[in-house]
Amino acid sequence: MKIASAASAFPKHYYSQKFLLEQLQEYWGERLRNPALLARLHRNVTVDGRYLSLPTEEYYDIKTWGQANDIWIKTASDLGEQALCRALNFADIEPRELGALFFTSVTGISSPSIDALLINRMGLPQNIRRLPIFGLGCVAGAAGIARAADYVRAYPSQAAALVSVELCSLTLQRDDMSVANLISSGLFADGSAAVIVTGDDLDRPGPTILATRSVFYPNTEEMMGWQVSEKGFRITLSPEVPVLIREHLGHDVDAFLADHGHRRDEIHSWVLHTGGPKVLEATAAALDLHNGQLDASWACLRKVGNLSSASVLVVLEDVMKNRRPEPGTLGLLAAMGPGFCSELLLLQW
């Protein structure tokens, strides 16, 4: 099982963090009783700029969750198609050759789901197996690759695609002045990514998926996720998330590697979800990663912000195109998200 390609696609509207801060201060107006707090939170997330689905002035026109979700469906279909087309092209695989299509997002809903819309738009096989995934949030990029690997393990002559689209700007709550929503307004952004996973019978280059593992942390469901109301998705984000990462991630990675005859010091490539500064710092501490080992994650965070499930896929794309390890190098791809849970993949480049 190999990761044959990874590709991203973004909306055309890109704004600096400074500009977005000014726009949000105007957007919230008198609701924002502490502008200095918002400015500090935006600085602390270390993001330089982000892509948005719409020009900033058009967010004023969104009055209901239904309006926001209609925009999500259209934009998700467009970006999902772009990302999947690019990933198929890089993997040298025709759309008709896909055996399965996994789609993940946690920022909008659609029935039929976006994967069905992509089948019609792109002329994908009528007998393609499809699986929409909702609710996994940031961990879904890694989990989606793992589930695609499960599929091609069963069908080694086939290829599976994972498409992630996250349009976080469409979930912003104008009446929510909580710290979690203020952080979200400065950290999360919009974008899409797709990955092609191929079975052993297909001759494609790319890192081999040696093993995968899911880890669930009981009684942590309040740490991250959505409160769903008539106004849409309201973010839940606990300050205890970095604490949980420091307490568990190192042990979980070591146990996973040991079960497959490896140690952490043998891993020389790290593809990790961007999270945010505190998440990356906690990850570095938990795994004892220093000297630039998380540079790819930090670079993606600065450039495009946190893209939820698409983040780890964008980091993977950067590593595959610009930071590719030497052949034979062992690597780990990982993400964490609502549940609370983690997903780990052992790779060999």
Extract the tokens encoding 298: 């930090």
* Other Cβ atoms closer than 10 A to 246: 16
Sign of CA dihedral 71, 74, 80, 85: negative
Instruction: Let me know: does 142 contact 312? Beta carbons within 8 Å.
Output: yes
Angle at 345 between CA 342 and CA 349, to 5 degrees: 150
Instruction: Let me know: does 349 contact 324? Beta carbons within 8 Å.
Output: yes
Per DSSP bridges, beta strands 159-167 and 129-133 are unpaired
Distances (CA, A) of 204 to 5, 17, 165, 264: 9, 39, 25, 28
Instruction: Let me know: does 236 contact 183? Beta carbons within 8 Å.
Output: no
* Other Cβ atoms closer than 10 A to 157: 12
CA atoms of 273 and 271, how far apart (whole Å): 7
CA diameter of the chain:
61
Marked catalytic residue, from 138, 168, 300, 341: 138
Instruction: Let me know: does 79 contact 54? Beta carbons within 8 Å.
Output: no
DSSP string, 147-199: HHHHHHHHSTT-EEEEEEEEEGGGG--TT---HHHHHHHHHB-EEEEEEEEE-
Instruction: Let me know: does 247 contact 215? Beta carbons within 8 Å.
Output: no
138 annotated active-site: yes
The dihedrals phi and psi of 149, each to the nearest 5 degrees, come to -65, -40
Cross-strand partners of 117: none
Catalytic residues: 138
